[in-house]
């Protein structure tokens, strides 16, 4: 039986500006199944924090990456694909079809798969641990994938920025812990914050995310990326596993 725990984001009482690495990714196609709906093809509109941690672990080659990070994600569009599933007999009692279950016995099942197109992901990796991961992203240990094993993701930009404690900033499509802001268009999603290496323990968290770009808003427990000539002051929440 899988054990579930509730993840919380701990905000330090006194926060100082942080140096962080901003990493931008692009995936032509990706899909993120919602594990809270087993047996149903229901997708999330963005990757969960646990999915992102898997991406970072692939870069570093570690079993797991537990550093806090900020993230924002969105997709240009999406659709529904049809996939053929071929269940495999665990006991090998169906050798005539190479171990596959015969059609009519649960084999060759067509299922719908929601997918996202032109997926954009931005991560903020703070402190020395962020620098370590950023270095690994330049030459990853394993291929970088976002979601399923065939959904390859590409690193498109990597640069160092400053994160300042902020009471107000542009929310955009940043992922925030529940209670992080009061944007009316934001929806609350329950997603996996992290998954143990043996996959027996999943930590869950409640997060706010805006499908449409949200403007300036009052923030709680947030940073902002120091504004520059190219960027607005983007809100960033550092999410712990």
Contacts for 141 with CB less than 8 Å, ≥ 6 apart:
58, 59, 60, 61
| CATH number of the domain within which 75 lies | 3.30.70.2660
Residue 12 lies in a domain: no
Asked whether the predicted pLDDT for residue 6 surpasses 90, the reply is no
User: DSSP 3-state assignment of 189?
Assistant: strand
75-113 burial code (b ≥16 CB/10 A, e <16): beebeeeeeeeeeebeeeebeeeeebbeeeeebeeeeee
The 10s digit of each residue's pLDDT in 130-148 is 999 999 999 999 999 998 8
Number of domains making up the chain: 1
For residue 231, what are the domain limits? 17-79+115-236
Residue 1 lies in a domain: no
Residue 85 lies in a domain: no
Residue 6 lies in a domain: no
Asked whether the predicted pLDDT for residue 92 surpasses 90, the reply is no
The pLDDT assigned to 115 comes to 86
Residue 180 lies in a domain: yes
Q: Contact, 170 vs 232, CB < 8 A?
A: yes
The pLDDT assigned to 13 comes to 40
Asked whether the predicted pLDDT for residue 226 surpasses 80, the reply is yes
Residue 84 lies in a domain: no
Contacts for 13 with CB less than 8 Å, ≥ 6 apart:
none
pTM: 0.83
Segment 107-113 mean pLDDT:
71
The pLDDT assigned to 160 comes to 96
Residue 53 lies in a domain: yes
The pLDDT assigned to 15 comes to 75
Residue 10 lies in a domain: no
């Amino acid at each position: 039986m899988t054990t579930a725990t509730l993840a919380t984001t701990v905000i330090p009482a006194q926060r100082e500006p942080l140096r962080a690495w901003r990493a931008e990714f692009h995936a032509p196609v990706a899909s993120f199944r919602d594990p809270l709906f087993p047996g149903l093809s229901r997708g999330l509109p963005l990757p969960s924090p646990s999915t992102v941690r898997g991406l970072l672990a692939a870069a570093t080659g570690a079993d797991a990456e537990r550093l806090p990070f900020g993230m924002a994600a969105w997709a240009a569009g999406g659709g529904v694909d049809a996939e053929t599933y071929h269940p495999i007999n665990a006991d090998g009692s169906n050798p005539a079809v190479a171990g596959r279950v015969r059609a009519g016995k649960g084999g060759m099942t067509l299922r719908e798969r929601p997918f996202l197109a032109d997926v954009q992901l931005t991560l903020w990796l703070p402190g020395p641990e962020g620098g370590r991961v950023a270095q690994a992203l330049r030459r990853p240990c394993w291929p970088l994938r976002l979601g399923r094993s065939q959904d390859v993701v590409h690193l498109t930009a990597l640069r160092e920025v400053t994160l300042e404690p902020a009471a107000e900033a542009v929310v955009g499509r940043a992922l925030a812990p529940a209670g992080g802001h009061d944007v009316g268009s934001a929806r609350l999603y329950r997603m996996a914050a992290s998954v143990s290496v043996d996959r027996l323990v999943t930590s869950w968290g409640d997060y706010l995310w805006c499908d449409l770009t949200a403007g300036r808003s009052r923030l709680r427990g947030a940073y902002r990326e120091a504004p520059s000539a190219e960027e607005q002051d983007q809100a960033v929440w550092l999410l712990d596993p």
